[in-house]
Structure 1
C-alpha cells in the first residue's frame, strides 16, 4: 500500500470534545471530560475507543465518555494488580535460582564459574549473546558505582577474595529481564530443571514464561494497555500441568487471561495462600460495564462468558 503524508492537525481540548461528540460519543459533562483529556490525553484514551465502534470513527449508539474512562480505569487497576503479582514472582524466581545453584554446586560464588554458562554466539540479527560476561558486567558496574548498593559496599569494604560478592548478593542486582536472560544462558538443562521444578513446570515452558513475565512487566512499568491486547511474546501452553489448571477452552495464550492463569499457577507454588482469584473477581465486579471478554475469557457460543472461577486453577 502506498504511503501518504500525515496531515492531521493538533486539536485543542475543546476541539477534541467537539470531535468526540461529532462521532456519536455521549458526553454528559464536557467540563469533566476536558479535565480527563488534559490529564490522560486524547491519544492514550483512543486505544480504548475501537471496541466501542462497529463503524470506524463512529461510536456505537449509547456509548458514553464515562464508559470509556471506566474501561481505562479498569485497565489501570488490572495493570497494578498484575505488576504486584510479577514482583512477588520475581522475588521467588530469584530465590530459587540462587538456592538451587548454590546448594547443588556447594559454591556461594557459582556465578563466577564460566563453565556453567553457554558459549557466546551471535543470534539471527547479529547481536552477541554472552550471558556469563553480561552477568559479570552487571556485577562489575555495581562494584564500581559511585554509590553502590549497601550490601555490595559492605562486601568490597570487608573482603578481598573472591573478587565478587556471593551469588545471593549478585543476583539481587538483576532485573526480571536479566534473570530471564541468565536462566536461558545456563549450560546444563539439569540446572534449569532444578529451578523450574519449584514451580511444577517443564524447564522449556518455564523459560518461555520468564520471557513473557519480562514482557508484561515492562508493559506495566510503561503504563501500557493490557485489556484487549494480543501478547507479542506468548507464554508456551502448559500441556502437562502438575495439579490444578484450566480446561481446553481457556488455551488462547495470545490474550491476557491466559497470562493471568500463568501467574496464578506460579503463585500457587510461591504463595499458596494468595488471593488472586478474589482480587480479579472484585475488579470485574467493580467495573460491570467493561467488556472483560476482551481479556480472552471464552464464551459458550451464545455470547455468554464461561465462569472462569469454576476452573480448578481458580478455585
Structure 2
C-alpha cells in the first residue's frame, strides 16, 4: 500500500476473471469452477463478496478480515443465498410499491380536498422549515422533462397554472420525495388521518416508518443486499406491532431505551402489517412465510428472525 501525507492511496489493480478464480481457490472456496466463472462474469466479484464474507474464518484481534474461507464452503452456497436475496428484494419491493401507491392516493385526495387542486404550490400549506421553492422547482423540472401522457394532456389543454394539479405531479414524486412532502404538511390532523388510513397509529409513526421504507426501497432499487443487512434507519416502536417485533433494550442515563432492532425481520413485520390493513385477505404474508421456511436457522438469525417467529400474530393467522 502507498501512503502520502498521512492518507492511504488506493493502489489495487483490476483483475481478470482467471485471477479472481485463483483468489477463490487459494482462499479455500470449493465448488464448480465453471459455475464460479459464469457468476463472476455476470454478477461480479465485488458484489458477490458481500455474500461470501460471512463464510470467512473469524479474524484475529485487530484484524479486519482473514480472506480465508471456512472448511467445506462451496460456491453453490453463495449462489443459493444470492438467489434467495433477489427473491426477498422482489417481495419487499412489491409491498413497498403497494403501500406507496395507497399513501400517495390518500395524501393527494385529502390535501387537494382541504386546500385545492394545486395545494402544493401554496407555501402556507407546509411547515416553515420546508424548502418550498426548491421542492416546487424540482417538481417543475420533473414535469418539464416528463413524457407521461397525463402530463402532456394537461400541458396541451391548460395554460394556467403552468404546473398540473396535485394528483398529477404526485405521480412524478419518488417515495423519498413523497415522504418529505407528507412530513412537512402543516395540517397535523391530516397527517394523523393519513397514518390511520394506512394502518399506523400516529403521524409520528407514519413519518418514521416512511423514512425507513424509503431507505429500504433505495437498497432494493439498486439491487443491494437485504439478507443479513443492518439498516441505517429503524422502525419506530409501534405498540400495536410489539408482539411481532424484535425489540432491543439499551441502558442510557435517562433509563432503559427500548427500540426495534435494525434487521430486515422488523421491516417485513411492518410491511406485512400494513399490507394486511390494506388487504386483509392478501396472500403476501403466506408468500413471505413460504420463502423463509426454506432457509436455515442460521440464515433466519442473520436477518433478525426470532426463534418463535412463526408463533407471532403477524404470521400465525395465515401461516399454518
The TM-score, its normalising length taken from structure 1, stands at 0.84
The 8 Å contact of residues 71 and 290 in structure 1, kept in 2 or not, is answered as: no
For 2:198, what is the secondary structure of its paired residue? coil
Aligned-residue Cα RMSD (Å) equals: 2.4
Alignment of 1:139-150 (within 5 A): 139-145=139-145, 148-150=147-149
The CA deviation string for residues 251-304 of structure 1, in whole angstroms up to 9 with x for no partner, is: 643111111111112111222222222212222344558722111112xxxxxx
Alignment match, 1:13: 17
Alignment of 1:229-240 (within 5 A): 229-238=229-238, 240=239
Alpha-carbon distance in structure 1 between the residues aligned to 2:53 and 2:24: 13
Alignment match, 2:61: none
- Report the CA distance shift for 1:245/1:168 in structure 2 as closer, same or farther (over 3 A): farther
1:53 aligned residue (35, 46, 56):
56
Alignment match, 2:29: 25
Alignment match, 2:182: 183
How many matched pairs? Answer: 293
The 8 Å contact of residues 116 and 186 in structure 1, kept in 2 or not, is answered as: yes
Alignment match, 1:110: 119
- Report the CA distance shift for 1:5/1:156 in structure 2 as closer, same or farther (over 3 A): closer
Alignment of 1:123-202 (within 5 A): 129-130=130-131, 132-145=132-145, 148-201=147-200, 202=202
The 8 Å contact of residues 231 and 256 in structure 1, kept in 2 or not, is answered as: yes
- Report the CA distance shift for 1:17/1:118 in structure 2 as closer, same or farther (over 3 A): same
Alignment of 1:213-224 (within 5 A): 213-224=213-224
Alpha-carbon distance in structure 2 between the residues aligned to 1:282 and 1:256: 16
**Unpaired stretches in structure 2, ≥5 consecutive residues:** 1-5, 59-65, 249-258
The structure richer in strand per residue is 2
**Unpaired stretches in structure 1, ≥5 consecutive residues:** 121-128, 299-305
TM-fit CA distance, 1:149: 2.2
The TM-score, its normalising length taken from structure 2, stands at 0.83
TM-fit CA distance, 1:165: 2.5
The 8 Å contact of residues 125 and 185 in structure 2, kept in 1 or not, is answered as: yes
Alignment match, 2:308: 307
1:35 aligned residue (31, 34, 38):
38
TM-fit CA distance, 1:247: 5.2
The CA deviation string for residues 25-83 of structure 1, in whole angstroms up to 9 with x for no partner, is: 212x2122111111111111111122112332221221111001111111111111111
Alpha-carbon distance in structure 1 between the residues aligned to 2:143 and 2:299: 50
Alpha-carbon distance in structure 1 between the residues aligned to 2:99 and 2:114: 22
Higher relative contact order, structure no. (Cα contacts within 8 Å, ≥ 6 residues apart)? 1
The 8 Å contact of residues 70 and 287 in structure 1, kept in 2 or not, is answered as: no
